[in-house]
């Protein structure tokens, strides 16, 4: 068939098969290109360069035109992208659409997956014959995959780290007291926990000098010492008292840290603290309790020793004079006096021991109260009469004032008598002249039993502590200080309120406030 009667495709095939010198230069360039190039109509391969032939030689066979290299394209997802150019269409149609500059394919050869970028260029106007160019990007894609996996891993690690840091920040915000300040000491950041503890609003501490947190107990010298230490680049650790917005005290375990840049230059200061107020207060209470106990034991030892020594001395004297008492009236009278004094001191010693036992029972919560309806006016009159003998001072007037009608309360009658008797005994003990008055009156729905006097009064620094165990009322510290402690515990145990007012040097007034029963047989809810 003459060549001019052949189709363009056939003409091309014929010319490529011939050794026409016109194509010598074309062949030379064609084979020196490193990319794999094939001339194809989408059905067969008319020509291919040496890199193409070498690569596909193991699977190509003897007839190049019958070789369908696109059937080797791997339809798999690999390295995070899809090898496309063949799905739902003839393999070259997708590529010819030109939506991408090139498409990626994969070819399995010798057990190795090779990656190529593939592009098609029309050789003639009819688009019936194409130049297919396959650029090997296997190494690049391996690097890309490694990079992608590394980035993915880094992102996952970053996200995990950010999550953990967020949790740490949350924990620090809730449990740790944090603030930062600049080189001048101005607060630049304060976390929520610190602001709430110090009674400041969000952001309210920012811009204030951190010395605003300084507690009353910190001296100016101590403050300067801490500030100089951190300014010199050293960490300060210690316990500090700080003051909140309303003047309340808090104790913190503080770490004050200078923050440096890469040039070792201090750029700001950072403080991490934990509140230990309860621990400090507990320590103070323990020290006070130990001090109180030591004081108590010293006082009790002295108080017990005094009557015991008196009993021993009087008994010894009585024994020495015993042989003379039969014939000598004066000796008999002397021995009588010794025995009477021994008896008096024995009673005093018994009272001390009973008070100690009462206090021990109250502290152990073992005291039992027999609560019942009590007509308080009758009871007060009886107590007044029984305590009248305590007043042996000529310049002291002992008075009773009660309402004319009966008043009913709920009480343990024995314990109520002990309370009133103790208050009267103390009043008489510390009043040399003037008056001691037992006064009963009603205020609203309460019965008030008051014992007031014109005695020495109570020093102001003791007024808030007189109901505490082992505290003493008088300026002369007479007695063990157990009486008012027991009185206070009895009052609390029966649901009553005991108050005191006093002016040192002028007198005192103890007021026992008790709920009134409306009728004689009425009872009220009572909780120990």
Predicted confidence band of residue 100 (pLDDT cuts 50, 70, 90): low
- Of the listed ranges 59-63, 372-376, 486-490, 523-527, the one predicted with least confidence: 523-527
Domain-ending residue, one of 136, 165, 191? 136
Nearest alpha carbon to residue 339 among 322, 359, 355, 360: 322
Instruction: Indicate whether 205 belongs to any domain.
Output: yes
CATH of residue 347: 1.10.287.130
Contact 186, 208 (CB under 8 A): yes
Contact 419, 512 (CB under 8 A): yes
What pLDDT score does 400 carry?
95
Nearest alpha carbon to residue 414 among 518, 520, 494: 494
Q: Where are the beta strands (DSSP E) in 225-265?
A: 236-243, 249-260
User: Looking at the structure, do residues 379 and 507 belong to the same domain, yes or no?
Assistant: yes
Considering 314-323, 368-377, 504-513, the range whose residues carry the highest mean pLDDT is 504-513
What pLDDT score does 363 carry?
61
Instruction: Indicate whether 524 belongs to any domain.
Output: no
Task: Count, in order, helices (H) and strands (E) of the chain.
Answer: 13, 19
User: Looking at the structure, do residues 225 and 331 belong to the same domain, yes or no?
Assistant: no
- Of the listed ranges 104-118, 126-140, 149-163, 449-463, the one predicted with least confidence: 149-163
Instruction: Indicate whether 483 belongs to any domain.
Output: yes
Domain-ending residue, one of 82, 113, 136? 136
Q: To 5 degrees, how large is the angle CA 8–CA 13–CA 18?
A: 125
127-131, long-range: CB < 8 A, 24+ apart: 127/96, 128/8, 128/9, 128/41, 129/8, 129/9, 129/12, 129/39, 129/40, 129/41, 129/46, 130/39, 130/40, 130/41, 130/42, 130/92, 130/96, 131/37, 131/38, 131/39
User: Looking at the structure, do residues 115 and 207 belong to the same domain, yes or no?
Assistant: no
Residue with tokens 């498409």: 103
CATH of residue 427: 3.30.565.10
User: Looking at the structure, do residues 497 and 388 belong to the same domain, yes or no?
Assistant: yes
Instruction: Indicate whether 162 belongs to any domain.
Output: no
Residue 353 clears pLDDT 60, i.e. is over it: yes
Number of alpha carbons in the 13 Å side-chain half-sphere of residue 321:
19
Predicted confidence band of residue 85 (pLDDT cuts 50, 70, 90): very low
Whole-Å CA distances, 118 to 51, 78, 397: 14, 17, 124
User: Looking at the structure, do residues 337 and 383 belong to the same domain, yes or no?
Assistant: no
User: Looking at the structure, do residues 117 and 196 belong to the same domain, yes or no?
Assistant: no
User: Looking at the structure, do residues 116 and 240 belong to the same domain, yes or no?
Assistant: no
CATH of residue 254: 3.30.450.20
What pLDDT score does 455 carry?
93
Predicted confidence band of residue 216 (pLDDT cuts 50, 70, 90): confident
Question: Alpha-carbon distance 371 to 411, whole Å?
Answer: 5
Instruction: Indicate whether 466 belongs to any domain.
Output: yes
What pLDDT score does 246 carry?
87
Residue 238 clears pLDDT 80, i.e. is over it: yes
User: Looking at the structure, do residues 292 and 389 belong to the same domain, yes or no?
Assistant: no
List the strands of the sheet with 103-109, edge to edge: 45-48, 36-40, 130-136, 112-122, 103-109
User: Looking at the structure, do residues 241 and 377 belong to the same domain, yes or no?
Assistant: no
User: Looking at the structure, do residues 102 and 16 belong to the same domain, yes or no?
Assistant: yes
Contact 387, 421 (CB under 8 A): yes
Structural domain containing residue 345: 282-363
Question: Alpha-carbon distance 470 to 302, whole Å?
Answer: 13
Instruction: Indicate whether 215 belongs to any domain.
Output: yes
User: Please, where are the H alpha helices in 413-481?
Assistant: 413-429, 460-463
Question: Alpha-carbon distance 431 to 61, whole Å?
Answer: 132
Q: Where are the beta strands (DSSP E) in 92-129?
A: 103-109, 112-122
**Mean confidence (pLDDT) of the chain:** 77
Instruction: Indicate whether 245 belongs to any domain.
Output: yes
For 156-182, write each residue's pLDDT tens digit: 666 666 666 566 555 555 557 888 899
Domain-ending residue, one of 275, 304, 323? 275
Residue 491 clears pLDDT 80, i.e. is over it: yes
User: Looking at the structure, do residues 404 and 511 belong to the same domain, yes or no?
Assistant: yes
Q: How many CB atoms lie within 10 A of CB 68?
A: 12
Predicted confidence band of residue 131 (pLDDT cuts 50, 70, 90): confident
Instruction: Indicate whether 161 belongs to any domain.
Output: no
User: Looking at the structure, do residues 326 and 231 belong to the same domain, yes or no?
Assistant: no
Count of domains for the chain: 4
């Amino acid at each position: 068939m003459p060549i001019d009667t052949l189709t363009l495709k056939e003409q091309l095939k014929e010319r490529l098969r011939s050794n026409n010198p016109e194509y010598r230069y074309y062949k030379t360039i064609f084979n020196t290109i490193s990319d794999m190039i094939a001339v194809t109509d989408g059905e067969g391969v008319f020509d291919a360069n040496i890199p193409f032939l070498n690569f596909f030689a193991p699977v190509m066979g003897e007839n190049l035109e019958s070789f369908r290299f696109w059937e080797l394209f791997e339809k798999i997802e690999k390295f995070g992208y899809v090898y496309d150019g063949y799905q739902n269409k003839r393999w070259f149609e997708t590529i010819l659409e030109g939506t991408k500059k090139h498409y990626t394919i994969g070819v399995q050869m010798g057990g190795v997956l090779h990656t190529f970028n593939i592009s098609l260029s029309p050789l003639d106007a009819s688009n019936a014959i194409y130049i297919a160019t396959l650029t090997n990007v296997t190494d690049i894609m391996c690097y890309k995959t490694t990079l992608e996996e590394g980035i993915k891993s880094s992102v996952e690690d970053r996200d995990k780290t950010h999550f953990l840091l967020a949790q740490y920040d949350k924990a620090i915000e809730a449990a740790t007291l944090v603030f930062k300040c600049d080189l001048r000491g101005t607060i630049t950041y304060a976390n929520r926990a610190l602001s709430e503890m110090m009674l400041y609003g969000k952001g309210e501490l920012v811009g204030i000098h951190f010395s605003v947190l300084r507690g009353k107990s910190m001296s100016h010298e101590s403050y300067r010492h801490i500030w100089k230490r951190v300014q010199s680049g050293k960490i300060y650790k210690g316990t500090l008292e700080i003051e909140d917005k309303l003047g309340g005290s808090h104790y913190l375990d503080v770490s004050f840290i200078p923050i440096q840049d890469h040039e070792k230059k201090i750029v700001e200061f950072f403080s991490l603290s934990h509140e230990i107020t309860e621990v400090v207060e507990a320590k103070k209470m323990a020290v006070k309790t130990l001090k109180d106990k030591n004081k108590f034991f010293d006082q009790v030892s002295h108080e017990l020793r005094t009557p015991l020594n008196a009993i021993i001395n009087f008994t010894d004297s009585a024994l020495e004079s015993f042989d003379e008492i039969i014939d000598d009236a004066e000796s008999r009278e002397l021995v009588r006096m010794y025995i009477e004094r021994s008896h008096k001191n024995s009673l005093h010693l018994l009272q001390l021991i009973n008070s100690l036992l009462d206090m021990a029972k109250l502290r152990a919560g073992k005291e039992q109260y027999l609560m019942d309806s009590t007509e308080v006016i009758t009871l007060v009159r009886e107590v007044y009469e029984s305590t009248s003998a305590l007043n042996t001072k000529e310049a002291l007037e002992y008075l009773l004032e009660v309402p004319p009608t009966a008043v009913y309360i709920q009480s343990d009658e024995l314990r109520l008598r002990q309370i009133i008797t103790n208050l009267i005994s103390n009043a008489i003990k510390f009043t040399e002249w003037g008056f001691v008055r037992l006064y009963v009156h009603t205020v609203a729905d309460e019965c008030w039993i008051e014992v007031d006097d014109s005695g020495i009064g109570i020093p102001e620094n003791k007024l808030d502590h007189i109901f505490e165990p082992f505290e003493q009322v008088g300026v002369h510290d007479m007695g063990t200080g157990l009486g008012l402690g027991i009185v206070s515990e009895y009052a609390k145990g029966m649901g009553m309120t005991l108050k005191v007012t006093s002016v040192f040097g002028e007198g005192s007034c103890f007021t026992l406030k008790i709920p009134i029963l409306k009728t004689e047989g009425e009872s009220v809810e009572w909780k120990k």
